[in-house]
């Protein structure tokens, strides 16, 4: 049995964070929680502190920190409360930490995930936005500092599971021909363009197969999630966009596939439950119980596949284009998408305006190489400003 592992869960109150703690709770002989972090929702964070007695709890807001501190004290709990973005980096890189689950949503997750990589940790990466914004920088930090990077995104976790050993010496040398990235197609797979224009946030938040946070749920409905995942796959597996193919698979039972030069196609299957990739990454290379039930193939009955429609779902096309353009183009795409999703949820724009806003930001902000963090941060800021400008011009 390996030694007890100390884990920091960034974004512990989110969907991935809660699932991570569910798996950790099943293995008290293996894992201890070092730190839990949230943005501002202290009620769930307090319950998690009661259950897992972390050394630290981090929130972003001063007022939330003070309330949490007081409540922990009144219950006699010893968890220390830290506050602010630097504290996120501190609990990601602390010497005592073995592994960091990076599950903050959006661009806010970049710096703490990078801090974990720079500190040579085992990084369980759910926050795909980190790789989209700063793929080359992040992968350099992983390699230079001897960090271990394990993908949590179910598709990338599946691909990782069916890749040959030593794939990082190059996919061609490893006999890999194609990566088949599956997508459920979301709730609007069959909707016409006119129907898409009238979609409401509550319809878009109703994903057919997965329970997820609001941002990724909207991204799944627009297929931007798959676009971000194409970029994520490029960086994780050093795969050219030409060999990454998106396959719509509405049942979400096959989580992705790898095709080899000899014609073999290897797939990873399972119930759509994030505890499988989380357990895999926590214990890798061992396997541990995750709480996920057996896949009932008789109940599934059939598996369907179809190509994606990039005309009805232009976000996917925009993501492929940004990846091919390179430099800070994906960071601009990501930031504009975050503004677009927020604006759609606030009912300021329609569903089909999401790609329009992103395209406008990509046209307005210049793309630079993006090898330094400052360039990535600037591109993110400039894209948000361009997106706001587009919103104001429209209203
Ligand atoms: P949620 O919205 O459910 O949770 C987000 C978490 O991040 C919460 O703990 C939230 O705190 C915290 N947070 C939000 N904003 C900030 C901020 N500015 N600074 C610090 N912390 C912040 O998201 P998910 O769990 O669904 O997704 C997390 C990440 O994992 C995303 O990048 C997503 O793309 C990725 N992912 C998710 C999957 C899923 O099935 N959910 C699948 C694959 C990838 P608070 O509760 O206080 O708001
Ligand atoms: Mg995914």
Over residues 318-374, the pLDDT tens digits come to 999 999 999 999 999 999 999 999 999 999 999 999 999 999 999 999 999 999 999
Which tokens is 229 given? 């995942």
Can you spell out the DSSP letters for 160-186? Answer: HHHSPTTGGG-TTTTTEEEEEEEE---
Mean pLDDT of 189-207: 96
**Cβ < 6 A, ligand 1 pocket:** 11-17, 38-41, 60, 103-105, 108, 126-129, 153, 210, 212-213, 215-216, 274
**Residue 302: both structure tokens together:** 């059939």
- Mean pLDDT (whole number) for 252-256: 98
CATH 3.40.50.1820 fits 5-151, yes or no: no
- The total number of residues written for the chain in this structure: 395
State mean pLDDT over 288-292.
98
Q: Where are the domains of the chain?
A: 5-151, 154-272+297-311, 326-395
Contact 101, 7 (CB under 8 A): yes
261 pLDDT above the threshold of 90: yes
Q: What is the pLDDT of residues 147-175, one digit of tens each?
A: 999 999 999 999 999 999 999 899 999 99
**Predicted local confidence at residue 215, as pLDDT:** 96
Q: Given pLDDT bands bounded at 50, 70 and 90, which one contains residue 210?
A: confident
Tell me: pLDDT of 72 over 80: yes
Looking at CATH, the fold of the domain delimited by 326-395 is given as Rna Polymerase Sigma Factor; Chain: A (1.10.1740)
Distance 299 CA to ligand 1 centre (A): 31
- pLDDT value at 110 more than 90: yes
Ligand closest to Cα of 217 equals 1
Q: What is the pLDDT of residues 294-326, one digit of tens each?
A: 999 999 999 999 999 999 999 999 999 999 999
Any residues with CB less than 8 A from the CB of 177 and at least 6 apart, and which?
A: 243, 259, 260, 261
Which residue lies with its CA nearest to atom 31 of ligand 1?
105
């Amino acid at each position: 049995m390996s030694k007890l592992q100390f884990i920091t869960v960034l974004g512990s109150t989110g969907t991935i964070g809660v699932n991570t703690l569910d798996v950790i709770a099943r293995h008290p002989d293996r894992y201890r929680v070092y730190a839990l972090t949230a943005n501002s929702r202290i009620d769930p964070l307090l319950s998690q502190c009661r259950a897992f007695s972390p050394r630290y709890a981090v929130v972003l807001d001063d007022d939330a920190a003070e309330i949490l501190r007081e409540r922990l004290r009144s219950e006699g709990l010893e968890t220390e409360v830290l506050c602010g973005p630097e504290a996120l980096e501190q609990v990601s890189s602390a010497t005592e930490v073995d592994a960091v689950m990076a599950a903050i949503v959006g661009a806010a997750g970049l710096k703490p995930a990078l801090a974990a990589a720079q500190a040579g940790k085992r990084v369980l990466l759910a926050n795909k936005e980190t790789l989209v914004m700063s793929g080359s920088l992040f992968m350099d930090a992983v390699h230079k500092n001897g960090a271990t990077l394990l993908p949590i995104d179910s598709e990338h976790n599946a691909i990782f599971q069916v890749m040959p050993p030593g794939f990082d010496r190059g996919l061609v040398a490893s006999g890999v021909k194609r990566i088949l990235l599956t997508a459920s197609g979301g709730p609007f797979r069959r909707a016409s363009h006119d129907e898409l224009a009238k979609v409401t946030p509550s319809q878009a938040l109703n994903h057919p197969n997965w329970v997820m946070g609001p941002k990724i749920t909207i991204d799944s409905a627009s297929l931007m999630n798959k676009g971000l995942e194409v970029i994520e796959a490029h960086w994780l597996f050093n795969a050219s966009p030409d060999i990454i193919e998106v396959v719509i698979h509405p049942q979400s039972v096959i989580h992705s596939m790898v095709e080899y030069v000899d014609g073999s196609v290897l797939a990873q299957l399972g119930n759509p439950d994030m505890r499988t990739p989380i357990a895999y990454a926590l214990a890798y290379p061992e396997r541990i119980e995750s709480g996920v039930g057996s896949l009932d193939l008789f109940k599934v009955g059939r598996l369907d596949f179809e190509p994606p429609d990039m005309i009805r779902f232009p976000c996917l096309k925009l993501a492929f284009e940004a990846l091919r353009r390179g430099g800070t183009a994906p960071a601009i795409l990501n930031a504009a998408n975050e503004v677009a999703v927020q604006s759609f949820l606030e009912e300021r724009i329609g569903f089909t305006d999401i790609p329009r806003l992103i395209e406008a930001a990509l046209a307005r902000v210049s793309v630079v190489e993006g090898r330094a963090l400052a360039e990535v941060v600037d591109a993110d800021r400039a894209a948000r400003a361009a997106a706001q400008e587009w919103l104001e011009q429209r209203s």
